[in-house]
Amino acid sequence: MRVILAMLVTAGLAFFGFQLLQETTEYHGGDGKAAQTTVTFTVKIKRYHSVEVAANALWQTCTGNIGWNDISPPARQADGSYIASVRPSLTEDTKRRLRGCLDEATLDRVQGKVVRTVDGPATGPSPTTMAR
């Protein structure tokens, strides 16, 4: 009887332990508190079509990876970096995923690096509208 009780207690603890681990590591998604997140990133290429094409391919790949649809295309800045935004803003978890994708995505001959992410009020028309 003691052996059966010990096995049941162990099985119950293992079950709840696995549930807790799953909940802790699960991606929850959701929207951030601000109206939009603006991302500034750089792109380096080696024998690729153009930096603009590479920046757009990297941005589309990574925003698709996090499942965001309301995005603006990357715009080249005077310093050579690119700036793009997503609406609504991203949660911290989603920002980490986007940063990881932009910094470590394996697009052939393309390397990205996030310079900064900033949450703030929406500026201008909806990013999806700007992309059309």
Q: How far apart, in whole angstroms, are the C-alpha atoms of residue 125 and residue 110?
A: 30
pTM: 0.69
Residue 119 lies in a domain: yes
Tens of pLDDT, residue by residue over 19-47, are 766 665 555 555 566 789 999 999 998 88
Residue 68 lies in a domain: yes
Residue numbers of the chain with a pLDDT score lower than 50: 129-132
Residue 110 lies in a domain: yes
Residue 117 lies in a domain: yes
Q: For residue 57, what is the domain's CATH number? A: 3.30.70.3400
What pLDDT, on the 0 to 100 scale, is given for residue 30?
Answer: 57
Residue 13 lies in a domain: no
Nearest of 14, 107, 23, 22 to residue 61 by alpha carbon: 107
Q: Quote the percentage of the chain above a pLDDT of 70.
A: 81
- Give me the domain span that covers residue 102: 36-131
